[in-house]
Structures are given as structure tokens and as C-alpha cells.
């Protein structure tokens, strides 16, 4: 059996759903493959306070559930399967799910997102969302007057540390070596900020916390010096892990143009990829902003680009 639609969208974060709303509302027949984590990264976020339209904030899962319902209201079909393989070599394009079932479409929108890199410690999994965060812009506000650590030595770590000083009393950057990957100007800015200090040649050995009833909270972190192997305990209220993102683009290697870090390259201020009819939006093509609102905006752009491209093709 084969399934054909006008548009296939791979991914169900804010970018995928926004693209689905725009294309299905334009009367196109749209299928969204939701992947292994329907709703994307926001479904593991607690409160979202910076998404416009929600005066008192909204939880990540609620926001994504609402987006999904809005998508379905216009007729898009959401399938809770992951796409494992694509064939963009000829029209119609074909995508295959993880049971090798093929689906075809005249246009494809890639919105597979990027995963925040984590330290992969057991204790990190335990306290993630309870004092450990991978997004300073999202969660910094909750650390007013508190003591926080930022892990990483890239531009994001420097920028996050500076941003967090708007709220926290003290910010410590924990980095595994002496040199920084971050640009000099960002490092200098962090060094000049009296609220920021550095723990270099240092890695997180373990996150420490407590559980009272059903409430878990991080209380501290054990830091290991990579030169002496000495472990020291530090009381902290929050730790922000800022060690980069990994785009979900493995299946597009040698098919779509990717940058050196694996993010999809889109053309100019559009969602066009190197293959006409294949569009990309959201974090999978944005290593800079990575916000729900910017992903949704980019999904809207991909929806509009797709609809216009299909109209042009069909009028030829
Ligand atoms: P980067 O990949 O640039 O930096 C990641 C940092 O995390 C590195 O210092 C790396 O250490 C460290 N790291 C990686 N894995 C681990 C680990 N397992 N344990 C401990 N430390 C680890 O990612 P960023 O998110 O910082 O930046 C991504 C891109 O976005 C960059 O191109 C950056 O320039 C850009 N950006 C620009 C901004 C601006 O211009 N305002 C702001 C934010 C980002 P090591 O160096 O030892 O490998």
C-alpha cells in the first residue's frame, strides 16, 4: 500500500506544527510524522513564560498539545511514527518509517530539531528540570538571587553566564580545560562581569539533590579537577548545561547541504534547502536562537514557501 500527500512534515516541535498549520490551512493535504518524542523538546520543559500569547505562562506539554490540536483542526494528519530514511532523488519524494513503510509527497518540510548535548550522568537525568536546565533564556528567570553554575566553554556558555547575572547573585562557569572555544570578546565580557567566576580544568562529577515528598531539588554539585582529580563539593541552586546542540540530521547526510556541525543550510532568509521542494525549519537549521517562538516563526516561513513552491510547480 502506498500513501501520497501534498506535503510531508518530519518533526512535531513548534516548527513542524507551525508549518503544518500554514500548509493545511492553505488546503493542502498534509501528513506530520511526530517522531519518537511527539511535541519535541518542549514536552520535557515545565513552564514556558516567554511564548507570546500566554500572560501567565503555559506548560510545555500543554503548549504542544494545543499546537497539535490546532494543526488537526485544519485537517493535517499526525502520525506518531519516526522517519528512518528518505529518498529525495526524484519526484514524488519518498520517506520511510522505521518499519520501512514508504510514504510519498510532492514537498517535504524537515523540522527534526536539535537535541541539547548533555553530560549523560545518572544524577543529571534525575534532577533535569529540578535545578538542571539546558536553556538559560527559558529558565534563568527562576534563579533570582540564587547561585548558579554554567557548564561549557563556548559562546553559549559565555552568553548564558552573562544573561544569568541579570537574575542570579553569582554565576560560575565550569569548563573542562583552560582554553575557550568561545570568541575572545565573549570571554572578556564574562571575565569583566563581577558576578561571574570560573572553575577551569573542571568537570561535573555528580549532581547532588534532595527529595521531599514528591518535590525534587538540586542542592549542589561535585566538581572534579581534571589535573589533580580532586573532587570538591559546591552548594548551588541551579546548573545550566551549555555544551552545544546536536542537530537531528543523520538521515540527510550526503542528501541535504549541512554545515560543519551538521545543521541544514537554508538559502538566505528562506526555508529552501539545496533540493527544490524540500524545506527546513526550526532548530535543525538554526544553531543560534533555538527558541520555541523562533522555531514556530521559521515553521510558518517554511509553510508559506512550500505552498508558493507547489503553486508554481502546478501552474507550469
Ligand atoms: P560549542 O560547540 O561552540 O561549544 C561547546 C562547549 O562545550 C565547548 O567549550 C566544549 O568544550 C564544551 N563541551 C562539549 N562537550 C562537553 C562535555 N561532554 N563536557 C564538558 N564540556 C563539554 O557550542 P555553543 O552552543 O557554545 O555554540 C554553538 C554555535 O553558536 C557556535 O558557532 C557559537 O559561536 C554560536 N553562538 C554564537 C553566539 C553569539 O555570537 N552571540 C551566542 C551563542 C552561540 P571544548 O572546547 O573543550 O571542546
Contact 153, 160 (CB under 8 A): no
Q: Which CATH code for domain 118-241?
A: 3.50.50.60
What is the CA(244)–ligand 1 centre distance, in A?
5
How would you label 182-207 residue by residue, b for 16+ Cβ within 10 Å and e otherwise?
A: beeebbebbeeeeebebbbebbbbeb
Please list the helix, strand and coil fractions of the chain in percent, rounded to the nearest 5, in that order: 30, 30, 40
Tens digit of pLDDT for each residue in 174-203?
A: 999 999 999 999 999 999 999 999 999 999
Share of the chain above pLDDT 90, in %: 89
pLDDT at position 54, please?
Answer: 95
- 152 CB within 6 A, ligand 1: yes
pLDDT at position 241, please?
Answer: 97
- Say yes or no to pLDDT of 66 above 90: yes
pLDDT at position 2, please?
Answer: 67
Is 281 one of the catalytic residues? no
Separation CA 300–CA 275 (nearest Å)? 19
- Say yes or no to pLDDT of 213 above 90: no
The pTM of this model reads 0.81
Q: Poorest-confidence range of 44-58, 93-107, 231-245, 288-302?
A: 44-58
Q: 45 Cβ partners below 8 Å, 6+ apart?
A: 59, 60, 129, 135, 138
Architecture label for domain 2-115+245-314: 3-Layer(bba) Sandwich (3.50)
- 155 CB within 6 A, ligand 1: yes
Domain span(s) for CATH 3.50.50.60 in the chain: 2-115+245-314, 118-241
Contact 133, 218 (CB under 8 A): no
- Say yes or no to pLDDT of 1 above 80: no
Q: 145 Cβ partners below 8 Å, 6+ apart?
A: 167, 168, 169
What is the CA(242)–ligand 1 centre distance, in A?
7
pLDDT at position 39, please?
Answer: 86
pLDDT at position 214, please?
Answer: 81
Is 78 one of the catalytic residues? no
Radius of gyration from C-alpha coordinates of the chain? 21
Instruction: Supply the residue whose CA is at minimum distance from atom 21 of ligand 1.
Output: 152
Which of the four pLDDT bands, split at 50, 70 and 90, describes residue 44?
low
Is 135 one of the catalytic residues? yes
Amino acid at each position: 500500500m502506498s500513501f501520497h500527500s501534498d506535503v510531508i512534515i518530519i518533526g512535531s516541535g513548534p516548527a513542524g506544527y507551525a508549518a503544518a498549520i500554514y500548509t493545511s490551512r492553505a488546503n493542502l493535504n498534509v501528513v506530520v510524522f511526530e517522531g519518537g518524542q511527539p511535541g519535541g523538546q518542549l514536552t520535557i520543559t515545565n513552564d514556558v513564560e516567554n511564548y507570546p500569547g500566554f500572560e501567565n505562562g503555559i506548560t510545555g506539554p500543554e503548549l504542544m498539545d494545543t499546537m497539535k490540536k490546532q494543526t488537526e483542526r485544519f485537517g493535517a494528519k499526525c502520525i506518531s511514527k519516526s522517519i528512518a530514511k528518505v529518498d529525495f532523488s526524484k519526484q514524488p519524494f519518498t520517506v520511510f518509517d522505521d518499519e520501512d513503510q514508504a510514504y510519498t509527497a510532492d514537498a517535504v518540510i524537515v523540522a527534526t530539531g536539535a537535541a541539547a548535548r548533555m553530560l549523560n550522568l545518572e544524577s543529571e537525568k534525575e534532577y533535569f528540570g529540578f535545578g538542571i536546565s539546558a536553556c538559560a533564556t527559558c529558565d534563568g528567570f527562576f534563579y533570582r538571587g540564587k547561585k548558579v553554575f554554567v557548564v561549557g566553554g563556548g559562546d553559549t556558555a559565555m552568553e548564558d553566564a552573562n544573561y544569568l547575572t541579570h537574575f542570579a547573585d553569582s554565576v560560575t562557569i565550569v569548563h573542562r580545560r583552560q582554553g575557550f572555544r568561545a570568541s575572545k570578546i565573549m570571554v572578556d565580557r564574562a571575565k569583566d562581569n563581577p558576578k561571574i567566576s570560573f572553575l577551569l580544568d573542571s568537570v561535573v562529577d555528580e549532581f547532588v539533590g534532595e527529595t521531599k515528598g514528591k518535590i525534587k531539588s538540586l542542592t549542589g554539585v561535585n566538581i572534579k579537577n581534571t589535573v589533580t582529580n580532586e573532587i570538591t563539593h559546591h552548594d548551588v541552586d541551579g546548573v545550566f548545561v551549555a555544551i552545544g546542540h546536536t542537530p537531528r540530521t543523520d538521515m540527510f547526510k550526503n542528501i541535504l547541504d549541512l554545515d560543519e556541525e551538521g545543521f541544514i543550510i537554508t538559502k538566505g532568509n528562506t526555508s529552501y534547502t539545496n533540493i527544490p521542494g524540500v524545506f527546513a525549519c526550526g532548530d535543525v537549521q538554526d544553531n543560534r536562537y533555538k527558541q520555541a517562538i523562533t522555531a514556530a516563526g521559521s515553521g510558518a516561513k517554511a509553510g508559506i514557501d512550500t505552498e508558493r513552491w507547489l503553486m508554481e510547480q502546478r501552474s507550469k
